[in-house]
Amino acid sequence: MMNNRFYPSFTNIGSASSWFEIYAAFSTFMMIFRTAINDLIPLKLRNFIISKLSSFFSSYRPSNEVSLQIDQTWDGNTNNLYYAAKEYLPTKISNTYKSLKIGKISDHKNLLLAFDGKQRVFDEFEGIKIKWLRIQKPDNEVFESPNPVRELDGEGYHYQGYPETYQYNKPKESAENGFMLSFDEKHRDKVMEKYIPHVLRTYEAIKAGNRTLKIHSMQTGVWKHSDFNHPASFDSLALDPDLKKSITDDIDMFLRRKKLYQKVGKPWKRGYLLYGPPGTGKSSLIAAIAKYLKFDVYDMDLSLVYCNSQLTTLMRGTSNRSIIVIEDIDCNKEVLNRSNHVNMDMGSDHFSGAQVHMLQAYQANPGSKKRFTMSGLLNCMDGLWSSFGEERILIFTTNHKDKVDSALLRPGRMDMHIHLSFLKTKAFKILASNYLDIEEQHGPLIQQIEELLEKVDVTPAVVAEHLLRNEDANVALEGLVKFLHEV
Ligand SMILES: Nc1ncnc2c1ncn2[C@@H]1O[C@H](COP(=O)(O)OP(=O)(O)OP(=O)(O)O)[C@@H](O)[C@H]1O
């Protein structure tokens, strides 16, 4: 039994004066203790102890917490999950974070925000709380690439990806970087099966949204790319609204149907034939489709293809989510004449130096010999196609549909034939409002033009050129009326 005589203060713990005595004694002790520490322990040592204690407590994890480490590389290979996390986390920037990086660079009009790389990032997914921590060696910080940023404008935060200047000058990152994500063990299955795929999917969507489209053109047996800056889009195209809708509906249906294509064993590809007179917008429509889909464009010039194996190699060199364009298909004599065939197959996926020389020799003397066969082209379009990957769109253009071999045009190869024709009333309305500031006062001139367009055949290219002739809408429209009377 404890004797109360030895614990007088605890027996009297209920009285206010006892509490005051304890508080006064404690404050005095703390004051003396703090002064002693400040006098006896140098500042550097104190800071060191504090940093050690805080790192100990920050690395403390409750026993039911699971952590997954995502390194930048996996057995020397790129770890896509690392890059996915790096793009995904900035989408979680909100104004609740107490420490962020802020900046302003010349090609962005708004302020940019980025994580400073030191703090934890908290995410919530279907009720699960997930904590992310960036792992990086202090030495690497100098070389560390900038974090992807968010742009801050009046409407809040908008994800921007990397600053443009950085994209062209991307520094090589150190292999020791990584991320650690932690969550309650009971959510392990959900994190693995749903959350991680969600991070990867977000990454893919961000990549597709931010990417600069490329146009690839052929150079001596290989593809060379440059930025695709064609200004046309579905908004700028003067097309009959019903035709425009049927094209976008078909594209949307194609994108939705990946599983169906797999189920019925068909390669996931779609072919469009664009036909019509020059200047009716075939090239512009290709650009609009590429922008709509965010697909790269491969401009396949058949006049530079010298054998079936080169054709196969070039097709194989195209990437998924791309549009392969063969313009003026009717102008390729080889495609017109199926029997005209000189065997130039080199039987290889890659061209050797000798083969490249051979091709160059043929290029120097075009038209000397038959180069590839019709069956080679057909094989590339269907049979062999499936091994080249998926999500491909093949577009042929021609000014003379009747001259193109029907084998090329059958459904399954060219699934939709799109006729681009002369400019008529509905499409003119779009063109005029894109080019000029049309106001109510221009009504009578517009009506006159629409009546004339129903009687004569002029291409959108010709009308567009007239609309550009004067900044004053009245003058430009009057000029067009005059021109249409003369046609
Ligand atoms: N439907 C259209 N809507 C808007 N502009 C158009 C349209 N068609 C043509 N144009 C204008 O005419 C120019 C030429 O059009 P485009 O090159 O797309 O025609 P095309 O049918 O591909 O011609 P070609 O058969 O000679 O290659 C475009 O740059 C654009 O300014």
Q: What is the 3-state secondary structure (H, E, C) of 285-335?
A: HHHHHHHHHCCEEEECCHHHCCCHHHHHHHHHCCCCCEEEEECCHHHCHHH
At 340 the pLDDT is 41
At 403 the pLDDT is 86
Q: Do the Cβ atoms of 277 and 459 come closer than 8 Å?
A: yes
Instruction: Put the strands of the sheet holding 128-135 in their side by side order.
Output: 65-71, 178-184, 128-135, 121-125
Does residue 282 line the site of ligand 1, with CB under 6 A? yes
Nearest CA to ligand 1 atom 25: 278
* Residue 190 in tokens: 């959900």
Query: What is the C-alpha separation between 122 and 133, in angstroms, rounded?
Result: 9
* Residue 215 in tokens: 């146009």
User: What's the chain's length in residues?
Assistant: 487
Spans in the chain with pLDDT lower than 70: 1-14, 54-62, 95-96, 106-109, 117-118, 137-176, 209-211, 220-221, 332-372, 382-390
| Nearest alpha-carbon partner for 306 in 342, 350, 340 | 342
- Distance (angstroms) between ligand 1 centre and the Cα of 479 equals 20
**Alpha-helix runs per DSSP H in 152-195:** 164-168, 188-190
Residue 165, classed as helix, strand or coil, is helix
Does residue 213 line the site of ligand 1, with CB under 6 A? no
Q: Which atom of ligand 1 is nearest to the CA of 237?
A: 3
At 461 the pLDDT is 96
Does residue 460 line the site of ligand 1, with CB under 6 A? yes
Does residue 279 line the site of ligand 1, with CB under 6 A? yes
- Distance (angstroms) between ligand 1 centre and the Cα of 309 equals 33
SS3 content of the chain, % helix, strand, coil (to 5): 45, 20, 35
Nearest CA to ligand 1 atom 18: 281
Does residue 431 line the site of ligand 1, with CB under 6 A? yes
- Distance (angstroms) between ligand 1 centre and the Cα of 456 equals 18
- Distance (angstroms) between ligand 1 centre and the Cα of 278 equals 7
At 226 the pLDDT is 86
Nearest CA to ligand 1 atom 17: 283
Which of the listed residues 229, 274, 283 should we mutate to test ligand 1's pocket, taking the one with most ligand atoms within 8 A of CB? 283
At 154 the pLDDT is 44
| Nearest alpha-carbon partner for 131 in 187, 62, 181, 86 | 181
At 120 the pLDDT is 81
Does residue 114 line the site of ligand 1, with CB under 6 A? no
Q: Provide the Cα torsion 78, 81, 85, 91; round to 10°.
A: 110
Does residue 311 line the site of ligand 1, with CB under 6 A? no
Q: What is the pTM of this model?
A: 0.60
Does residue 163 line the site of ligand 1, with CB under 6 A? no
According to DSSP, residue 41 is labeled S
Cα–Cα distances (Å) from 485 to 438, 458, 474, 480, 481, in that order, read 21, 12, 17, 9, 6
Exposure letters 101-121 (e unless 16+ CB within 10 A, then b) = eeeeeeebeeebbbbeeeeeb
Q: Do the Cβ atoms of 426 and 460 come closer than 8 Å?
A: no
Does residue 243 line the site of ligand 1, with CB under 6 A? no
Q: What confidence tens digit (pLDDT) does each residue in 197-252 have?
A: 999 998 888 877 666 788 999 876 678 888 888 999 999 999 999 999 999 999 99
- Distance (angstroms) between ligand 1 centre and the Cα of 382 equals 29
Which of the listed residues 272, 274, 275, 284 should we mutate to test ligand 1's pocket, taking the one with most ligand atoms within 8 A of CB? 284
